[in-house]
């Protein structure tokens, strides 16, 4: 995989945001993880919501965010509430 847009859930806007926060490749996103990536994005876009966090987690796992297990979604909701 050579481009962020090759990953599930990563469209143009999210790819641009990831690049803006220094995660400009799939490898860098995978190394950082969804929570770190989301935290960085939230610093430049305070409107980032749970859907973006789900999208990032799905990208890291290689699945559409709709297919994340409910337990993972619940954990991500808790993470977001802690920010």
Residues 10-57: tens digit of each pLDDT: 999 999 999 999 999 999 999 999 999 999 999 999 999 999 999 999
Spatial distance between the Cα atoms of 46 and 38, rounded to a whole number of angstroms? 10
Interacting residues of 40 by C-beta distance below 8 A, sequence separation 6+: 21, 22, 23, 32
Tell me, what's the pLDDT at 1?
Answer: 63
Average pLDDT, the chain: 97
pTM higher than 0.75: yes
65-74: per-residue pLDDT in tens? 999 999 999 9
Tell me, what's the pLDDT at 77?
Answer: 98
Structural domains of the chain, with CATH: 8-82 (1.10.150.20)
Give the relative orientation of helices 50-61 and 70-82 as an angle to the nearest 10 degrees: 130
């Amino acid at each position: 995989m050579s481009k962020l847009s090759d990953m599930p859930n990563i469209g143009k806007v999210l790819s641009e945001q990831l690049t803006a926060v220094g995660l400009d490749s799939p490898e860098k996103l995978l190394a950082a993880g969804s929570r770190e990536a989301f935290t960085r994005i939230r610093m430049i876009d305070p409107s980032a919501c749970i859907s973006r966090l789900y999208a990032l987690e799905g990208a890291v796992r290689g699945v559409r965010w709709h297919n994340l297990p409910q337990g993972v979604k619940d954990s991500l909701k808790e993470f977001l509430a802690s920010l």
